[in-house]
Amino acid sequence: YLDSIDRKNNKLKFGKLLFGYTHANSWKRTSYTVESPINTIQFNTVQGTNVHLGLGYDKAFDKERNRRLSLKTKVNYGFSEEKFRASGELNYHFDPKHFARLTLSGGRETAQFFEANPISTLINTSYSLFFRENHFRLCDKTFVRGEFRREISNGLLFFAIGQWARRAPLVNHSDYSFFHRDDREYEPNVPENDRIGDGELSQSEAMSVGLSLRIRLKQKYLDYPDAKYIMGSKFPDIWVHYRGGVPLGNATADYGRVSAVLSKSDIALGLGGVSSFRLEAGKFLYDKQLYFQDFKHFLGNETNIGNPEQYLSGFKRLPYYTYSTRNAWLEGHWEHNFKGFLTDKLPLVKKLGWSLVAGAAFLYTSEEKDYTELSLGLDNIGFGVARLFRFDVVSSFKKGKYDGTGWLIGIRLPTGEISL
């Protein structure tokens, strides 16, 4: 009987570890997390099948969790590459009245050339295994990174990022897929861009600094003794960014670029719905030594899956790295959600609760000239409160000429706050 109990307990423990497990102590305001290995099995052509084990610790210092500390570690192993990599991150939220946060991270990992990760691991895994299309472009990255955020005064939010990184090229180690083995070939792990110079994809070290300031005029808020709650502003947000490489020791990247962003979401237009827009302009001040990771990249998409939360900062049909630039750029996005203004007049569609969405996006670089997208779609697709989906038809134009039309299924997923 005791042996059977032990076997049962061992099975339960194994099951918790296999599917992920979180142990929380509400009295001490702590929790420990083991990520599910099943959910972290991935595939890419560089590493082949790879899996990571993630461990986490969280400690809150007050009941509202306004002050808290979190630790995360991740160990990754690629079976075809036969290599381990490990990284960790510490987040400390403090001074909640000023939204202060300190983040320290470091280790070794495979990283996309564009730090904003234009394609998710899940989508890349699916397209690789089912369609034999590898959209990841990865480099080996050993790094130490620090980030700091704090509101200086009401509506004035400051970000600072400092990072040392050693970047090294990687090659494909696997050509496995479920289908299309005889009629398709995987592409090399090299970004497609005609302006990559000699040595700009080779191993490099970079000491980079990023500074950002968000200006929100007449920001409304609720003030409490231990916290502050933002109520928004009727004025657009203004962002000012600087990103530069500082030559120091073996770090040879030496460049500087500036940009400015003007954005506003959910501009109410009465019964006609709401509009949102984002405009960005920037240029490199100098580029004495530049590597491809340091180019200005744009959020593109070469699949039929998108994230609507990124549509105001990214494109639906733009190639991932073709338009990456080392010069000046101008980027614009606009979207209007009719909020039932038109669809409510159609009896069957009205019951579904869908809304019509129109959008446009524009990009200009001195090398590739102009690129434009026009889209029309249906949002709020789903059932009950789970309305996470959206469907768009998108037409693109290059240098004023029609380039093609495609479709996109949007699935809402969380995104980061800022990309420098």
22 vs 55: CA distance, rounded Å: 10
Per-residue pLDDT reduced to its tens digit, 47-75: 999 998 899 999 999 888 889 999 999 99
- Locate all alpha helices (DSSP H) within 109-207, ordered by sequence: 121-131
Pairwise pLDDT comparison (50 vs 226), residue with the higher score? 50
Neighbours of 408 (CB within 10 A): 20
Pairwise pLDDT comparison (250 vs 13), residue with the higher score? 250
347 vs 120: CA distance, rounded Å: 38
Neighbours of 67 (CB within 10 A): 17
Per-residue pLDDT reduced to its tens digit, 310-364: 999 999 999 999 999 999 999 999 999 998 777 777 777 777 888 999 999 999 9
- Residue 116's alpha-carbon distances to 145, 233, 320, 336, 417, in angstroms, are 15, 27, 11, 25, 10
Among 45-49, 313-317, 403-407, 415-419, the range scoring the smallest mean pLDDT is 415-419
Contact 227, 66 (CB under 8 A): yes
Residue 16 φ/ψ, nearest 5 degrees:
-60, -40
Instruction: Give the helix/strand (H/E) hosting 86.
Output: strand 83-94
Please check the confidence at residue 127 and state whether its pLDDT lies above 50: yes
Contact 144, 89 (CB under 8 A): no
Work out the average pLDDT over 240-257: 96
Helices then strands, counting H and E runs in the chain, come out as: 3, 21
This prediction's pTM:
0.89
Q: What is the pLDDT of residue 419?
A: 45
